[in-house]
């Protein structure tokens, strides 16, 4: 439990000095809480002495006591304010910083990281887990550290009046801490299980929502809901089990504190009866017995919450520790934009996808990649963009090995127009502007016009300010692709990676889009995953990928003269789509 407290303090990074300042304010806050009670006891003893005739109670006594109490109350509120101001926003500030840091880190990890961790798991870490940490992290610091500071400060104050009473209070605190450590051991064992159950629940919910179109199309609501219901049931069962484990230790912890409080009052009464304690001190002890354990009573909840926080911190550390794909990269500006694959071998996990692939694309030329589905065409583009690193061989742009470049300096030179280019839940204007953040409205409109999306955008109710759904789900496939072409136009990068994907293009606009693509690629080096015969024919070279290898390479005419995959592939495509050469 205390290890988790230390981790929260470490998590707060540069802000930890504010936490330490908060601990000092907490000490003074407690001192100022104790002072009015001590002053009241002193006032009572003056009244009793006045009654006995031992000393006279003057109005000056009463006024100075009242002034002292007012000063103590004001001091108490002042230190409570200082503590809150120092500590309470630390969690929110640190979490906000960490969210940005994780966002930046995710941009730089290999995409294989997203195979290992589901989108739901990562989303849960950045949203619910970090929210939990920002909300409860500082509360736990307050409950545990400030709670013990407060209790021990009051024990210290009591020791000036009666050492035995302060020892009873200290014993109560120690005994409750023992039960808390047992409770904490249980929580420590259960919290990761609960964390996993919650992650599964988020991932199942995420998948259910994302897969809704498929669920509806296949009338599979029963099957898909079963998965999500199972995740919810498991979470409920685990939470109930944890609560049951929690109860006995919680009762023992509270019992220790209540027994200590009662024993303090009984001992004070006995000391008063045998004349070793004055009545006002006994009354003061009775009041202290109510307040001394107040804050540490709720440490029981902290044990469980702290374990969850510990698991959350582990999870966040796991995401942040993911190796940056470009951690040894430098910001390099290639002097040319030719592309060379040299004996590139690559596997997703264990499955070999590309085997010793070599080719060269001169600057300002177009290479069309053709080949059967699953042969590795998209993988070639993903490797060039360094979404993954090659296992063997090398990829160079303008003679510079992409492994020596940072992702930013490499991707600055590449624009992608893929079937599944992601559009954000934002305005169309901002989605296009993604290609060039500093672009003016006029540039955005010009790019949209060239990419044949200006007309459909102007027909929408809010035109360029229309907000589109997640992933562009409120647009048709063709519209999404045209937006992504506009985005690429605006970026004006020297290398274009294009997945032609004519399937999603509106036939009416196909010609215009082809024109748009032609103007997009002028003077650029382009790799196109080609589907249209015209693109294939017009390419400067065709790379025929089959089974992870470059089976054939050459111009359309050269390849037509050879017997091989290309000729067979072309015949099949022609038959399927009614082409004629």
**Given the rule CB under 6 A, which residues bind ligand ATP?**
115, 348, 351, 353, 371, 373-379
3-state secondary structure of 391: coil
Closer Cβ to ligand ATP, 376 or 398, answer by number:
376
- Least Å distance, CB 378 to ligand ATP, is 3
Instruction: Give me the least distance between CB of 552 and ligand ATP, in Å please.
Output: 15
198: tokens are 């919650």
Nearer to ligand ATP, 419 or 449 (CB): 419
As measured in angstroms, the least distance from the Cβ of 388 to ligand ATP is 8
3-state helix, strand, coil in the chain (%, to 5): 65, 10, 20
Provide the minimum distance between the beta carbon of 543 and ligand ATP in the complex, in angstroms, as a whole number: 11
27 backbone dihedrals φ, ψ, rounded to 5°: -60, -50
Of the two residues 31 and 354, which places its CB atom closer to ligand ATP in the complex? Answer: 354
Residue with Cβ nearer ligand ATP (316 or 527):
527
Contact predicate 447/489, CB 8 Å: yes
Of 224 and 378, which has the nearer Cβ to ligand ATP? 378
Q: Measured from the CB atom, is 371 or 435 closer to ligand ATP? A: 371
Angle, vertex CA 282, rays to CA 279 and CA 286, nearest 5? 140
Residue appearing with tokens 């006591």: 65
Q: What's the length of the chain?
A: 581
Q: What are phi and psi of 371, to 5 degrees?
A: 160, 165
Residue placing its CB nearer to ligand ATP in the complex, 112 or 181 = 112
Nearer to ligand ATP, 494 or 548 (CB): 548
* CA–CA dist 40, 462 (Å, integer): 69
DSSP 323: P
Q: How many CA atoms lie within 13 A of 385 on its CB side?
A: 25
User: What are the start-end ranges of the H helices in 321-376?
Assistant: none
Closest distance to ligand ATP from the beta carbon of 556 (Å) = 19
* The 525-529 sheet, strands edge to edge: 414-417, 495-499, 525-529, 366-370, 541-546, 549-554
Q: How far is the CB of 435 from ligand ATP (least distance, A)?
A: 23
Strand partners of residue 341: 359, 395
Over its C-alpha atoms, the chain yields an Rg (Å, rounded) of 35
Smallest separation, CB 376 to ligand ATP (Å): 4
Alpha-carbon distance values, 576 to 440, 509, 570, 579 (Å): 44, 22, 10, 8
Question: H or E stretch including 553?
Answer: strand 549-554
Q: Are 265 and 172 in contact (CB under 8 A)?
A: no
| Distance of closest approach, residue 351 Cβ to ligand ATP, in angstroms | 6
Q: Closer to ligand ATP at the Cβ: 280 or 371? A: 371
Element (H, E) at 297: helix 294-297
Shorter beta-carbon distance to ligand ATP: residue 288 or 341: 341
Minimum distance of ligand ATP from residue 348's CB (angstroms) = 3
Closer by beta carbon to ligand ATP, 299 or else 414: 414
Nearest-approach distance from CB 343 to ligand ATP, in angstroms: 18
What is the nearest approach in angstroms of ligand ATP to the Cβ of residue 419? 8
Q: How far is the CB of 508 from ligand ATP (least distance, A)?
A: 25
What's the per-residue H, E or C state across 284-319? HHHHHHHHCCHHHHCHHHHHHHHHHHHHHHHHHHHH
Nearer to ligand ATP, 263 or 504 (CB): 504
Q: Which is nearer to ligand ATP, 115 or 276 (CB)?
A: 115
Query: CB of residue 381 vs ligand ATP: minimum separation in angstroms?
Result: 8
Beta strands (DSSP E) in 23-159 are none
Degrees (nearest 5) of the Cα angle 452, 458, 460? 115
Question: Which residue shows structure tokens 């400030």?
Answer: 146
Token representation of residue 290: 């109510």
Cα distance between the two ends of the chain: 74
d(CA 439, CA 33): 60
The encoded tokens of residue 418 equal: 């893929």
- What's the farthest any 2 CA atoms get from each other in the chain? 126
């Amino acid at each position: 439990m205390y290890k988790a407290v230390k981790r929260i303090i470490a998590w707060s990074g540069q802000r930890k000095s504010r936490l330490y300042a908060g601990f000092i304010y907490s000490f003074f806050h407690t001192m100022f809480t104790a002072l009015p009670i001590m002053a009241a006891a002193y006032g009572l003893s003056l009244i009793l002495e006045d009654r006995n005739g031992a000393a006279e109670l003057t109005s000056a006594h009463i006024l100075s006591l009242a002034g002292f109490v007012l000063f103590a109350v004001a001091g108490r509120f002042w230190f409570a304010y200082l503590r809150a101001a120092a500590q309470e926003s630390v969690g929110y500030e640190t979490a906000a910083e960490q969210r940005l840091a994780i966002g930046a880190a995710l941009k730089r990890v290999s995409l294989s990281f997203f195979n290992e961790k589901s989108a739901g798991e990562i989303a849960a870490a950045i949203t619910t887990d970090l929210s939990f940490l920002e909300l409860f992290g500082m509360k736990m610091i307050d409950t545990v550290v400030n709670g013990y500071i407060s209790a021990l400060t009051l024990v210290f104050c009591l020791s000036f009046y009666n050492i035995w009473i302060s020892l009873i209070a200290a014993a109560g605190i120690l005994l409750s801490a023992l039960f808390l450590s047992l409770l904490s051991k249980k929580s420590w064992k259960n919290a990761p299980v609960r964390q996993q159950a919650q992650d599964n629940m988020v991932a199942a919910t995420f998948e259910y929502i994302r897969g809704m179109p498929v669920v509806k199309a296949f009338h599979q609501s029963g099957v898909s809901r079963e998965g999500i219901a199972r995740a919810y049931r498991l979470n409920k069962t685990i939470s109930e089990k944890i609560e049951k484990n929690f109860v006995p230790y919680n009762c023992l912890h509270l019992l220790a504190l209540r027994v200590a409080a009662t024993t303090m009052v009984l001992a004070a009464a006995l000391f008063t009866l045998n004349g070793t304690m004055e009545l006002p001190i006994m009354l003061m002890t009775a009041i202290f017995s109510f307040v001394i354990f107040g804050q540490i009573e709720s440490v029981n909840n902290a044990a469980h919450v702290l374990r969850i926080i510990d698991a959350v911190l582990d999870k966040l550390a796991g995401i942040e520790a993911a190796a940056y794909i470009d951690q040894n990269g430098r910001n390099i500006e290639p002097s040319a934009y030719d592309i060379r694959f040299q004996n590139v071998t690559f596997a997703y996990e264990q499955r070999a996808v590309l085997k010793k692939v070599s080719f060269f694309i001169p600057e300002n030329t177009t290479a069309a990649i053709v080949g059967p589905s699953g042969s590795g065409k998209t993988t070639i583009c993903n490797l060039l963009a360094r979404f993954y690193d090659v296992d063997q061989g090398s990829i160079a742009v303008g003679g510079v090995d992409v492994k020596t470049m940072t992702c930013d300096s490499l991707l600055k030179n590449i624009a992608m127009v893929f079937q599944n280019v992601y559009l954000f839940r934002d305005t169309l204007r901002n989605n296009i502007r993604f290609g060039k953040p500093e672009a003016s409205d006029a540039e955005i409109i010009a790019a949209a016009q060239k990419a044949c999306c200006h007309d459909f955008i102007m027909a929408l109710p809010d035109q360029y300010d229309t907000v589109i759904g997640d992933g562009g789900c409120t647009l048709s496939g063709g519209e999404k692709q045209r937006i992504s072409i506009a985005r690429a136009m605006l970026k004006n990068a020297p290398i274009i990676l294009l997945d032609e994907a004519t399937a999603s293009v509106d036939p009416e606009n196909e010609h215009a889009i082809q024109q748009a693509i032609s103007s997009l690629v002028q003077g650029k080096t382009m790799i196109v995953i080609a589907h249209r015969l015209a693109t294939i024919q017009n390419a400067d070279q065709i790379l025929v990928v089959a089974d992870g290898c470059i089976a054939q390479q050459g111009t359309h005419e050269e390849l037509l003269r050879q017997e091989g995959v290309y000729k067979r592939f072309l015949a099949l495509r022609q038959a399927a789509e009614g082409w004629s050469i």
